[in-house]
Amino acid sequence: MTTPWHASEDLTLRYADGSLPEADAWSLEKHLETCTACATRVSTAVRNTPAGLVLDEVRDLILTATATRPKGARGSDMCGSAAWARPAPTGRHLTTHLKPTLWSLGPALRGTWLLALLTVVVGALLLNRAAGYEATRTLLLTLAPVIPVAGVALSYGPHADPLHEITAATPSGGLRLALTRTAAVLGLSLPALTLTGAALPASGAPGAAAWLLPALALTLGSLTLASYVGCRTATAVTGGGWLAAVLVPAFAAHGGSLTARLAGRLAVCFDGAQPGWAAAAAVCAVLLAVRRDAYDHLENR
């Protein structure tokens, strides 16, 4: 259907701005499929319309995507002529990249987790200020390390993200996305909880910042463990493990009030062990780097 005809300037411009009637547009569209010269001219004309902005943005996104996932990562797409013709797995869509920033920061930040964080912060302040409960910081520090871990649990994986299969298949899915979302969770919960802790009276509890390294280590530990057993199980193990390690000895010990015992237990877990927590965080980070490929197949777990 090669023709000696080419689209006139007028036709090109009217197609670019969308004002060309249907029948003329159909003719041009069929022609563009076979004539690169006209296709290029129409494309140039469209770039000069408001759509040019979108075209530039998408161009940047695509070139970024090709830079982060070079050809070597194409895998099964090399299997021949049927490769492009077969139905696309829905996972091909890059939906999340185009959503507003908050949306892209992950399920945790727009769901129940944010509510939980707010509840803990507001609850702690109210308990102390309104109810005059002195040992609030002890309770806060007991709970604080679990909150980022819970954020991780709600951030990545088929159970947490309705778009998981879609996002997991994008060039920036996998560990990179999990880390981005974890960073968002940490960026919000660390300052919020530390400031809340600092606003509460010490009354025997460790410093307000003492929980930061343990929380980091537990979060990294969760991510590492998640590469073996999936996000949900991993966070249940680390979060539950922490609570058990603090609460069980505090309940089992004798003498003094429960909050005093809890404060003592926290002091053991935090103050003496900071280098230990730092080392644990470093080990987990290295392990996580080694296990990064496992994040591409998390949905199997």
Partner 1 sequence: MGGRWENDDTHADAGGDASGDAVLLRAVAAGDASALAELYDRHAGWLHARLTRRCADPEVVREVLQDTFVTVWRSAAGHRGQQAGGWLWTIAARRLVDARRVQERAARVETLPAPAAVAPSAEDRVLTALEYGDVGTALDRISPELREVLRATVVDGLSTREAARLLGIPEGTVKSRALRARAELRAALTQLNPSPTGGPA
Region from 11-19, 123-131, 201-209, 216-224 binding partner 1, contact rule CB under 8 A? 11-19
**Interface pick for partner 1 out of 13, 94, 185, 298 (rule CB under 8 A):** 94
The answer to the question of residue 102 lying near partner 1 (CB under 8 A) is no
The answer to the question of residue 45 lying near partner 1 (CB under 8 A) is yes
The answer to the question of residue 25 lying near partner 1 (CB under 8 A) is yes
The answer to the question of residue 40 lying near partner 1 (CB under 8 A) is yes
What angle do helix axes 231-252 and 212-229 make, rounded to 10 degrees? 130
Closest to partner 1 by CB, 37 vs 195, is 37
CA distance 88 to 94: 12
**Interface pick for partner 1 out of 13, 42, 193, 200 (rule CB under 8 A):** 42
**Interface pick for partner 1 out of 34, 112, 119, 274 (rule CB under 8 A):** 34
Tell me whether residue 60 is exposed, middle or buried, using C-beta atoms within 10 angstroms of its C-beta: 0 to 12, 13 to 18, 19 or more.
exposed
Tell me whether residue 50 is exposed, middle or buried, using C-beta atoms within 10 angstroms of its C-beta: 0 to 12, 13 to 18, 19 or more.
exposed
Its sign, for the CA torsion 154, 74, 99, 182, is: positive
Closest to partner 1 by CB, 53 vs 282, is 53
Residue 179 CB, nearest distance to partner 1 (Å)?
A: 22
**Interface pick for partner 1 out of 15, 156, 270, 295 (rule CB under 8 A):** 15
CA distance 275 to 273: 6
C-alpha dihedral, 107 to 113 to 114 to 119, nearest 10°? 170
Locate 137 and state its tokens: 């910081």
**Interface pick for partner 1 out of 13, 46, 213, 246 (rule CB under 8 A):** 46
CA distance 147 to 258: 22
Near partner 1 in 60-89, by CB under 8 A = 61-63, 65-67, 70-72, 74, 77-78, 80-89
Neighbours of 49 (CB within 10 A): 14
**Half-sphere CA count of 194, side-chain side, radius 13 A:** 14
Region from 36-44, 118-126, 222-230, 277-285 binding partner 1, contact rule CB under 8 A? 36-44
Give me the 106-145 binding string for partner 1, x by CB under 8 A, dash otherwise: ----------------------------------------
Residue 204 CB, nearest distance to partner 1 (Å)?
A: 54
